[in-house]
Structure 1
C-alpha cells in the first residue's frame, strides 16, 4: 500500500468538510424556502428568533437551530450584540427574490432530486439502462425551471436573441416560434411577453410539465399568443417556423441528430435553430472547474441517464462542448453553425440550413 502524503490528506479532508457542510446547507435552503423563512426576512430587517418565529409560524427552537446553521454558512447575517438575524441585500437576491438574476434556490431543489433518485441511478449504473426525465422525483421539474429561469430573464431577450442574425426583427414584426423541450414554459412565456406580435408554441413530452406551462402562461397574461402541447423533439407538429428553440435540453435527447433533422423539416425559409446549452469547453481538462463540477454532477445523475433511456442513446452529456454540438447540427443536415454569444453558464448557437 502506498503511503499517503499527510499534507495532501489534510487538505483533502479540509475540502471535504466544506463539501459536507455545503450538502447539509443545501437541504436547509430547501427547507427554509418551503416554510417561508427567507421571504419573511427579505426586507433585511434584523429580527430576533422570537420575532421571526411569530412572523413565520415556525417553532422557535427549530428556527434558532436553522438560523445558526445558515449563519455558519454565511447564508444569513448574525449580529452578536443584538442576537438578531437578517438577510443582506445580496443574500436576499439569492434566497428570497425569485425573479432576481441571482436566485439560487432552484439549484438546491435539483440537488434534492439527485439525492432522492440515487437508488434509481445506482441501478442504471449496474444495468446500463437509462432513467427517463419523467421517472425522476417531481422536485427536479420545479427546480430545473427555477434554476434556469434567472439566466433566461437576464439574457434571453436582452442578449441571446439580439445576437442571432435577423431574428429579433422577425419576432418584433410577428413570427412563428417553436420552443422544444420547454418544460414548465419559462423561456416560452418570457419570449411571448417580449414579442407580443409573435406566436409561440411550447412542446415537451412530459405531460405534467405542459400543464404547468399552460398555467404559467395564464398567470403571465400571454395565453392568447402561447400554445403548449405535448410532443417529442423528433415528432412535434408544425411547419414554417421562423425559429425553433431548444434551451438546455438537446444534450438530454437520445437522438439529437434525429431531432435536428426534424427541426430542419419544420423550419421555414431562412429559419433559425436556436440551441442554448450548458457552457463547456471541448476538452475535459478545461472543464475541471466549479461550473464544470456542477454540470458534470447533474449530467451523471440526470442528463446522461435521460439520453440513455431513449432510442439511439447518444449520451452527449451536459458538458458536450462546441465540437460535439457542431457535429450534431452538421449530421442533421445544417450547413451554418455559429456560436452567437455565451455566458459563464451557457453557450448560444445559431444554426441554419
Structure 2
C-alpha cells in the first residue's frame, strides 16, 4: 500500500469539510425558501431570531439555529453587538428576490431532487436502464425553472435573440415560434412578453409541466398568444416556424439527431433553430472547473439518465461541447451551424438548413 502525503491528505480533508458544509447548508437554503425566511429579510432590516420568527409565524428556537447556520455560511450577515441578523443587498438578490438576475435558490431544489432520487440512479447504474425526466421528484421541475429563469431574464431578449441573424426583426414584425422542451414555460413567456406581434407554441412531453406553463402564462397575461401542448421533440406539430428554440434540453434527449430532423421539417424555408446548451469546452481537461463540476454532477444524476431512458440513448450529457453538438446538427441534415454568443453558463447556437 502506498503511503499518503500527509500534507495533501490534510488539504483534501479541509476541502471536504468545506464541501460538507455546503451540502448541509443547501438543505437549509431550501428550508428557508419554503418557509419564507429569506423573503421576510429581503429589505435588509436587522432583526433578532424572535423578531424573524414572529414575522414569519414559526417557532423562535428553530429560527435561531437556522440563522446561526446561515451566518456561519455567510449567506446571512450577523452583528454580534446588537445580536441581530440581516441580508445585505447582494445576499437578498441571491436568496430572496425571485426575479433577480442572480437568484440562486432554485439550484438547491435541483440538488434536493438528486438526493431524493439517488436510489433510482443506483439502479440505473446497475441496469443501464436510465431514468426519465418524469420519473424524478417534483422538486426537480420547479427547481429547474427557478434556476434557469434568471439567466433567461438577463440574456434571452437582450443578447441571445439579437445574436441570431434576422430573428429579432422577424419577431418584432410578427413570427411563429416553437419552444420545444419548454418545461414550465419561463422562456416562452419571456419571449411572448417581449414580442407582442408574434405567436408562440410551447411543447413538452411532461404533462404536469405543460399544465404549470399554462397557469404561468395566464398569470403573466400572455396566454392569448401562447399555445402550450404536450408533445415530444420528434412529434410536435410542424407548422412552418420562423424560429424553433430549445433551451438547455437537447442533451437530455435520447435521439437529438432525430429531434433535429423533425425541427428541420417544422421550420419555414428561411427558419432558424436556436440551441441553447450548458457552457462546455470540447476537452474534458478544460471542463475541470467549478462550473464543470456542477454540470457533470447534474448530468450524472439527471441529464444522462434521461437520455439513456429513451430510444437511441445517445447520452450527450450536459457537457457535450460545441464539436459534438455540431455533429448532431450536421447528422440531422443542416449545413449552417454557428456559435452566436455565450455566457459563463450557456452557449447559443444558430442552426439553419
With the shorter chain as reference, the TM-score category is: over 0.9
Alpha-carbon separation, structure 1, partners of 2:225 and 2:176 = 10
2:337 aligns with 337
| d(CA) in 1 for partners of 2:40, 2:141 | 25
Within 5 Å, give how 1:288-299 maps onto structure 2: 288-299=288-299
* CA deviation after TM superposition for structure 1 residue 118, in Å: 0.1
Calculate the TM-score normalised by the size of structure 2.
Answer: 1.00
Could you say which residue in structure 1 is the equivalent of 2:206?
206
CA contact (8 A) 2:238 2:265 kept: no
Show the counterpart of 2:266: 266
Partner of 2:103: 103
Please give the secondary structure, in 2, of the residue aligned with 1:224.
Answer: helix
Superposed CA deviations along residues 84-109 of structure 1, whole A, max 9, x for unmatched, are 00000000000000000000000000
Task: Report the aligned-residue RMSD.
Answer: 0.4
Q: How many residues align?
A: 353
Q: C-alpha displacement at 1:50, in angstroms?
A: 1.2
Q: Does 1:156 align with 2:152?
A: no
1:136 aligns with 2:136: yes
> What's the counterpart of residue 253 of structure 2?
253
Q: Which residue of 1 aligns with 2:170?
A: 170
Once the 2 structures are TM-superposed, how far is the Cα of residue 4 of structure 1 from its aligned partner?
0.3
Distance 1:304 1:45 in 2: 44
**CA deviation map 1:288-328 (0-9, x unaligned):** 00000000000000000000000000000000000000000
Structure 2 unmatched runs, 5+: none
Q: Does residue 52 of structure 1 match 2:52? A: yes
2:78 is the alignment partner of 1:89: no
Q: CA deviation at 1:177?
A: 0.4
Task: Give the CA deviation at 1:277.
Answer: 0.1
Separation (CA, whole Å) in 1 of partners of 2:181 and 2:95? 27
Q: Distance in 2 between matches of 1:291 and 1:160?
A: 20
Matches within 5 A, 1:172-187: 172-187=172-187
> Deviation string for 1:324-353 (max 9, x for gaps)?
000000000000000000000000000000
Note the C-alpha offset of 1:49: 1.1
Secondary structure at 2:224's aligned position in 1? coil
**What is the alpha-carbon distance in structure 1 between the residues aligned to residue 250 and residue 163 of structure 2?**
20
Offset of residue 239 of structure 1: 1.8
Runs of 4+ deviating beyond 3 Å: none
Give distance in 2, aligned partners of 1:106 and 1:50: 27
Distance in 2 separating the partners of 1:88 and 1:43: 9
Q: Could you tell me which residue of structure 1 aligns to residue 36 of structure 2?
A: 36
Query: Residues of 2 paired with 1:163 and 1:114: CA distance?
Result: 34
Aligned to 1:7: 7
1:34: Cα distance to partner? 0.4
TM (norm. structure 1) is 1.00
C-alpha distance in structure 2 between counterparts of 1:53 and 1:193, whole Å: 38
